[in-house]
Amino acid sequence: MDLYLPILGLAVLGAGFAVVTIVTSALVGPKRYNRAKLDSYECGIEPTPQPAGGGRFPVKYYITAMMFIVFDIEIVFLFPWAVAFDSMGIFALVEMVLFIATVFLAYAYVWRRGGLEWD
């Protein structure tokens, strides 16, 4: 645990810095109320009301996040595999190639079905 205490210290420093500067600027800065200033930015016109229940986002974002999870999981297996590779040799290589090939199949399917297109 000794290795983590300095990290905690740095985090506290960073958090302290962020909070102190934000609070200081809130205290030091001017406060001039203006109704239009507190509206969302919309090039100076009245902000368009957000559609209730509608106005959805492209589902591509969802697919991207899904792909990200899958590849992230692959990566967290690749890391210990790479580190322990020297002591295992060919056997580990075959295992990993099988794994990558299966995930690659999914990747190819997503590509084929247009999941990677951002037109």
Partner 1 sequence: MIVQALGVRTVDDLSEFGTDPWWLSLIKAVLIFVFLLLLTLFNIWFERRVVARMQHRAGPNKNGPFGLLQSLADAMKLMLKEDIMVKAADRLLYVLAPVISVIMAFLAFAVIPFGPVVDVPFTDRQTPLQLTDLPVGVLFVIAVASVGIYGIVLGGWASGSTYSLLGGMRSTAQVISYEVAMSLALVAVFLYAGSLSTSEIVNAQQRLWYALILLPSFIIFWVSMVGETNRAPFDMPEAEGELVAGYFTEYSSMKFAMFFLAEYINMVTVSAVATTLFLGGWRAPWPLSLWDGANAGYWPVLWFLAKVMMFMFVFVWLRGTLPRVRYDQFMALGWKVLIPVALLWTVAVATIRAMTLDGGLDRRVLVGGALVAVLLFLLLSIVGERAPKEEPEAEEQPFDPFAGGYPVPPMPGQRLPRPEPAGVVPGGAQPDQEDDTARRSATEEGD
Partner 2 sequence: MSVVGLLFLLMGAMAVGSALLVVTTARLVHSALWLVVTLGALAGCYLLLGAEFVAWVQILIYVGAVVVLLLFALMLTRAPTGVQTGLTTGNRVVAAATAGVVGLVLVTVVVAGFGGARVSVDEESVGSATSMGDAIFRHWVLPFEVLSVLLLAALVGAIVLSRGRASSGEETP
Interior CA angle at 116 toward 111 and 119, to 5°? 130
16 token code pair: 């302290």
Which of 26, 46, 79, 90 touches partner 2 by CB under 8 A? 79
Taking CB under 8 A as the criterion, the residue among 14, 15, 39, 68 binding partner 2 is 68
Contact region with partner 2 (CB under 8 A), list: 9-17, 20-28, 29-37, 70-78: 70-78
- Buried (b) or exposed (e) across 11-49, using 16+ Cβ within 10 A? eeeeeeeeeeeeeeeeeeeeeeeeeeeeeeeeeeeeeee
Binding residues for partner 2, per CB under 8 A?
A: 1, 4, 50-51, 54-59, 61-63, 65-70, 72-74, 76-77, 79-85, 87-88, 91-92, 95-96, 98-99, 102-103, 105-107, 109-110, 113-115, 119
